[in-house]
Structure 1
Amino acid sequence: ATIDVKDMFFMVPLQEGNQDQFAFTWEGQQYTFSHLTQGYKHSLTLAHHALAQELKQVPLEGGVKIYQYIDDILVGGDQLMLVKTMHDKIIKNLEGLRLTIPPDKFQSPAAEVKFLGIWWKGSMACIPQDTLSALDQLRMPESKKELQHALGLLVFWRKHIPDFSIVAWPLYDLLRKGALWQWTPMHEEALQLLIFEATTHQALGPIHPSDP
């Protein structure tokens, strides 16, 4: 089960003594933020810590684990009812803090859920279908920007692509500062191999169940 805490940044209050650091002037009028802003460099860290402290206040059900990344929460366990109970308790606790959890921002307990852009099936991670579709439709890049986009789709799954760094080396070499853009058959072969390995991993599934 998952929970996405909507507008988490804007719900973390700033101590009064720190609000001066968030003051700004607009059309001659001075304003100051009273809560964290999304553009502040340390907002991610502070929001993660604030939510982690609140999660500690919710007693764990037996055999249930909680994983958190900033404002996203994953509740996992072997017993469906225990996961559901924990999931409901977390939502109730957060709503008690006046945090909004819309129905489209959480996934009820199920054998597979999407968390941080990854499909989790039991203890295994699967490449999302939209990523596979994007790889299938990927054209050979005609610029550094297009190559960066292609590698961006693949690099997250590099641990499931054998010898990723070796195969991708000529592609990254093209992205070096000052390197001239010259797409060759060697580059095309490298990119096609990376795409093939990613889709093959998905088709076969993780060889070892413990491989996340």
Structure 2
Amino acid sequence: MYLPKEDLEWDPNTSERLQRVKEYQKLVLYGIQHGVQKPKNLSKLYEVRQGDKETPLAFYERLCEIARKWTDLDPEDDSNSKLFNMLFIGQAAADIRKKLQKEEGADGMTISQLLSVEEWLSEKGHSLIDVSNPAFDGAWEPEIKLHIPPETAWKAQICLLTEKDPNEEMNIPEEVLNTVTPLVWASKIPGRAKNANPVKIKLKPEAQPVRKKQYPIKLEARKGLEPIISSFLEHGLLRECQSELNTPILPVKKPHSSEYRLVQDLQEINARTVDVHPVVPNPYTLLSTIPNSNTYFTALDLKDAFFCIPVDEQSQALFAFEWENPTTGRKTQLCWTVLPQGFKHSPTLFGNILAKELELWQDDHDAVTLLQYVDNVLIGSDSYETCLEATISLLNFLGLAGCRVPKKWLSLEKKKVQYMGFEMTKGQRELSTERKEAICRIAVPTSKKQLRGFLGMAGWCCLWIPNFGLIAKPLYAAVKGPEGVLEWTPECRKSFDEIKRKPMEASALGLPNLRKPFQLYVYE
């Protein structure tokens, strides 16, 4: 694009010169639209979902159109076929997606084969669903006939009139519900560790008191936080105090909801607290301890795990914050009596305490594999019966120890479970779809802090990215040095895009058989 360096002295008051100005404006716009490189945004691919009335072919063509517009991926390239197959299967209509995922060998099919299978499934589903359509004229002869004997017809009527139980999706066996103590299930009453001593927090010798004013909070947000804080006060997680210290709180609105989450800004407290060496296990080393023979797994997360650990009374004032009741207008200071979220040592302290508790349980269950990563627990076993027995035993143990487990976060006796963002099956582990999507949704970083966050998330998946160290070398070089303007070079952009693309192409990794010799290759 050529821009004049001198004033052309086009007087817009004359018709001839005004016409030149308008033509020049059009040329500038044309140059900008066609000369600027198209932005790359892989997250756009994950926003494409099959519409209710959209045919499989139309859905696939729309997916390809988005890929050409927002990425440099060529749908016609055979090297990208696996990626587009996964996108096509994972983002099809819910009922079709479930059927395609159960279809044996779907990952290895060509897109033409997938389209044929989905067309067939759509037709079958359509013929069954549309029987009750008002437009149906009664001339169609169904392929499937349902016969209900008169003596059991009342059961069918009850099934039709009864709403679906939301807990049905949890799929918890009756044997588990009937033999597990109700104490373990998460409720409005938080858990409290029975054998944990109050934690003392030590500050650095030169640490100065932290007095940060509370940020202004909108009335709507304060009303959203009120039931949370009232519940915490009622159950003793918070108490009123008078402290010389103060750090602000933030109301964070939950996505797709009108509810809020309470977050406290503890950066200044973290900076003044004596460092403790974190002894959190390496996730890759941890997962490698699972025997190849383990076929059934149970995965569970603990609810509000840090709130189970009490804080020493003399240390509680460190976590003080100001609160204004939206109903009464009364201002007061509150502080945590338990480990708060956002405190840098909470994961380490809780993880160590839980690990000691689980050692007692593990001594009596040598036949199962037990993994713990902070508040995530996994059981692995060779048989369903052993896994079921161990699951019941562990849930009872955790319940009596004061921990709480949400039913919706529980995956029981399955051959495939999600654990720490990985999908675990017999002898294999692979990245979960959610983790892949999370990486692809990350926008181009504009600061060193954002780039470090991306590298941290990508580093979690480095086993699935061959030559990760070499690919990420320009990015690690860009974050070096003092904080300042991020120097974003073409090499950085190339590395960034490649790291986002590689996990989508990754397949499952086999777990090593520790009973047999094997060779370990290290490339970094």
Task: Give the TM-score range, shorter chain.
Answer: 0.7 to 0.9
CA contact (8 A) 2:371 2:379 kept: yes
Question: Share of identical aligned residues, percent?
Answer: 23
- TM-score norm. by structure 1 comes to 0.77
CA contact (8 A) 2:302 2:375 kept: yes
Amino acid corresponding to residue 357 of structure 2 in structure 1: E
In structure 2, what is the equivalent of residue 181 of structure 1?
487
Amino acid corresponding to residue 42 of structure 1 in structure 2: H
CA 55–161 in structure 1, closer or farther in 2 if over 3 Å, else same: same
1:7 paired to 2:304? yes
Which is richer in strand?
1
Task: Tell me which of 35, 46, 52 is aligned to 2:338.
Answer: 35
- Partner Cα distance (1:136, 1:30) in 2: 42
Amino acid corresponding to residue 109 of structure 1 in structure 2: E
Shift of 1:113: 1.0
CA contact (8 A) 1:61 1:86 kept: yes
Gaps of 5+ in 1: none
Amino acid corresponding to residue 308 of structure 2 in structure 1: M
Amino acid corresponding to residue 506 of structure 2 in structure 1: H
Shift of 1:199: 2.5
- TM-score norm. by structure 2 comes to 0.35
Count how many residue pairs are aligned between Structure 1 and Structure 2: 203
Shift of 1:109: 1.4
Cα displacement string for residues 125-145 of structure 1 (whole angstroms, at most 9, x for unaligned residues): 211112333455566x26236
Task: Tell me which of 57, 61, 85 is aligned to 2:389.
Answer: 85
- Partner Cα distance (1:71, 1:150) in 2: 24
Cα displacement string for residues 56-110 of structure 1 (whole angstroms, at most 9, x for unaligned residues): 3325434201111121111112112211211111111222234322211221011
- Partner Cα distance (2:336, 2:459) in 1: 37
1:210 paired to 2:512? yes
Shift of 1:118: 1.6
CA contact (8 A) 1:67 1:74 kept: yes
SS in 2 for 1:95: helix
In structure 1, what is the equivalent of residue 461 of structure 2?
157
In structure 1, what is the equivalent of residue 354 of structure 2?
51
Cα displacement string for residues 155-179 of structure 1 (whole angstroms, at most 9, x for unaligned residues): 2111332221111111222333446
SS in 1 for 2:414: coil
CA contact (8 A) 1:19 1:33 kept: no
In structure 2, what is the equivalent of residue 110 of structure 1?
414
CA 104–36 in structure 1, closer or farther in 2 if over 3 Å, else same: same
Task: Tell me which of 485, 489, 496 is aligned to 1:191.
Answer: 496
Shift of 1:8: 2.0
Amino acid corresponding to residue 164 of structure 1 in structure 2: F
Shift of 1:209: 4.0
- Partner Cα distance (2:418, 2:347) in 1: 21
CA contact (8 A) 2:421 2:435 kept: no
Gaps of 5+ in 2: 1-297, 323-330, 514-524
CA 201–6 in structure 1, closer or farther in 2 if over 3 Å, else same: same
CA 87–194 in structure 1, closer or farther in 2 if over 3 Å, else same: same
- Partner Cα distance (2:412, 2:426) in 1: 14
In structure 2, what is the equivalent of residue 21 of structure 1?
315
CA contact (8 A) 2:478 2:486 kept: yes
- Partner Cα distance (1:82, 1:104) in 2: 22
Larger Cα-atom Rg: 2
- Partner Cα distance (1:52, 1:138) in 2: 34
CA contact (8 A) 1:124 1:210 kept: no
In structure 1, what is the equivalent of residue 436 of structure 2?
132
CA 38–199 in structure 1, closer or farther in 2 if over 3 Å, else same: closer
SS in 1 for 2:472: helix
Q: Which moved more, 1:105-114 or 1:168-177?
A: 168-177
Shift of 1:34: 4.0
CA 19–146 in structure 1, closer or farther in 2 if over 3 Å, else same: closer
- Partner Cα distance (1:107, 1:48) in 2: 21
Amino acid corresponding to residue 314 of structure 2 in structure 1: D
Q: Which moved more, 1:35-44 or 1:45-54?
A: 35-44
Task: Tell me which of 473, 477, 483 is aligned to 1:169.
Answer: 473
- Partner Cα distance (2:485, 2:405) in 1: 48
- Partner Cα distance (1:138, 1:42) in 2: 27
CA 35–174 in structure 1, closer or farther in 2 if over 3 Å, else same: closer
CA contact (8 A) 1:19 1:32 kept: no
CA 23–159 in structure 1, closer or farther in 2 if over 3 Å, else same: same
In structure 1, what is the equivalent of residue 506 of structure 2?
201
SS in 1 for 2:304: coil
Q: Which moved more, 1:55-64 or 1:67-76?
A: 55-64
